Structure 1
């Protein structure tokens, strides 16, 4: 009996990353741009700030501030970024050999950045016929990376321009989107109209029998609006009931739940009705938990980061950064779900999916930027497989 054809449709944040590596977060220029309180528009390691808010905070144009922060350097790399598209690209790359279709629904502007983004996506194994030109300004992010931060584990800050994503609405999601095996909403806090109606979109997907996955991004809009109030996910907490798998990092989990520990945040997500949740925490262990028909009852459990990856990062010739690690983690989880669904599994192994996510996120540390451009189909899978085999031995 052959494997089932798998269709994945995703929407959310897609943009151009301008990556600046080796920017010291301890420099005087960085300290002068650092936040004084949550949501004030200043820079904070690991967090995102909107361009308009940042310019208001530093009282200068972002280009001027970037020249000071980077000592006038040009970006080390310009690449495809965004929690939605990067995760989908990785999932498509590592499922080479499966009968599958990975679709992305999103938008770009009419500017040169948009032309670069469109031409780059055309080289990758994601179906983009629903990637539309809306407005003039393509979403983009300036990413500053300090590989020495956090005792050498590295961290980034993000200055984001939402651009035409302000105008991207649920009306752009057609019936085919909701007829997929797996529907993924990634980083919708940077696509405001999708984020506001996330509850309704999740409900429609579930009513059509889709598996739903939500991966989050730092919600600066709601952080700025009310830094003391927990972030909404859609209009209200009913959104959680229609999420089969929620993937978030520690900071986002705490702000979404209003709790002060990962453990309590996990309890919040499960209590609100999410079928399963995964919370990442940088170089620290990943927490996972499930209690649903799709995943069965699993955890709460923890898995460490990859020892093989940590060893590669410690090597002197290491030239990567942490940009896109979280997005590739999500792509690894999506890829594992695709493999398991193609095998006809009625119950998904969440630990297995988390393991592929950890290896995928770790591998993204070994090159600059989140998106990996393959020299041949299957190249990224061939890079991931030996690390995954090592990881299975590491974790038993």
Structure 2
């Protein structure tokens, strides 16, 4: 009954969502591409051969990045299989192409959770195994996978207490979705308990595959070269994955830093490409002397901000910098982004107070002294100035951050151990 009501509401709102995506395409043409895939009409058809297919869903850029170690491990272990990666956003699709190129044979957009769209999608892609990253639960999609006896693994699964409470209000709907063929490989014991509370029958703790982030040697080398050629002898800090409402605080902090260190350089990396033009215009209005990465502008002694308005270069600039601030954390609505990216590069990490996307990682890094929390532009500036004057403290924080990553690796192997029997005997989950 509850699932029927859920589906009826989707039929009401799906046309609005499709229209909204089309309208968004007026500003960002990527959103106009492949609109039919939102209704299950994907061109990512499974090969005609007997080759089996592994399907991985990662909703957007962050989840694609988190899935990268798992996808690479699967490609290496199962070269005889074909692979499909789905996302919900064009930026996620772009990240799939940037990370995996032709090694992943197909990309598609996940369809809306309408019964017909889901059936069309599965008829075309015909997966032997579905892997969903982190926290996506779609009752009709999961139900159709169960009907077709397609095993489904929630990898590196997480759910906040607030989200779990909302899900418990619709316990019958989510209990049905998470029963039978679904295995929840949770990040923490708390996550596993919350999934069980909303109906998961098979929930176990495997850890967070984000800790299995690969040391990006190419990014490290590119960052070191960039530092030598353009950023030498300057104090450099990165504000990575920033959002509207946060960039204003970051720039205010940078102005306070420059009052004492006029040679300081801020590398500003907005999270979403569709905001690049707006951020460029805003910096002009603020009368900031900035260089735009997309235009290959040179960074001169007069440049105070380097705007990275390109995709896929955040790790390079973390490697080139002295200090990393990780965005999405100074505003209450986003929940923070990946602290492990600068950590694996041995950079001291600064972060705002809002980290509900990965609270355990944030708390661990704060408790261990690998990260410092700031709540305002003034605090951010003060900590940056403190770290600039204490190179040994920067090095100590960076070493602690890298050690945390090293100590918590292993989730990838535990998830891979779950995948092998699912591919061998997918019908045995009950």
TM range (shorter): 0.3 to 0.5
Higher helix share: 2
TM-score normalised by L of structure 1: 0.36
Q: Which has the higher contact order (CA 8 A, sep 6+)?
A: 1
TM-score normalised by L of structure 2: 0.34
